[in-house]
Amino acid sequence: MENLSNMKEIQQEDLLDRQLREVAPYIDDEGFTARVLRQLPPPRHARRSFRGAILLTITLLASVLAYLLSDGGRFLVVEATRLTTLPTLWLFVLALGSGILVMAGGVIAAISKTREVQS
């Protein structure tokens, strides 16, 4: 008898839940999503490209300044000449070192990006 009453109660609860779900109408978007998207801050890549432009400008300005202050970049010619006089082994070590340095930078960037995504 008690089981029957419990079952009836559960059925009533199910009916109420179903009715509650049925009375919740689907609300049409009607421009809601567009309004939300308009209020979002600019995408990160836009902010990144702006940051990149600033860095590039500063680098170019610094290079021009260095060129002018170093007597028309004479030090570059001197260093390039010195490089040509270096033994082949030294040149190889220099190229290998530079390659490893760039690769390490890439690996570190990839690891930090992976951690960012996983978190």
Three-state SS for 43?
Answer: coil
The residues in 32-91 that bind another protein, with binding defined as CB under 8 A, are 32-33, 35-37, 39-41, 43-45
The contacts of residue 83 (CB under 8 Å, 6+ apart) are 91
Q: Which amino acid is at 48?
A: R
**Beta carbons of 73 and 67 less than 8 angstroms apart:** yes
| Binder among 25, 71, 82, 112 for another protein (CB under 8 A) | 25
| Binder among 23, 69, 89, 101 for another protein (CB under 8 A) | 23
User: How is residue 117 written in tokens?
Assistant: 């995504």
| Stretch binding another protein (CB under 8 A), from 25-33, 57-65, 74-82, 88-96 | 25-33
Q: What is the DSSP letter of 30?
A: T
Q: Which residues in this chain contact another protein in the complex, by CB under 8 A?
A: 12-13, 16-17, 19-29, 32-33, 35-37, 39-41, 43-45, 116-117, 119
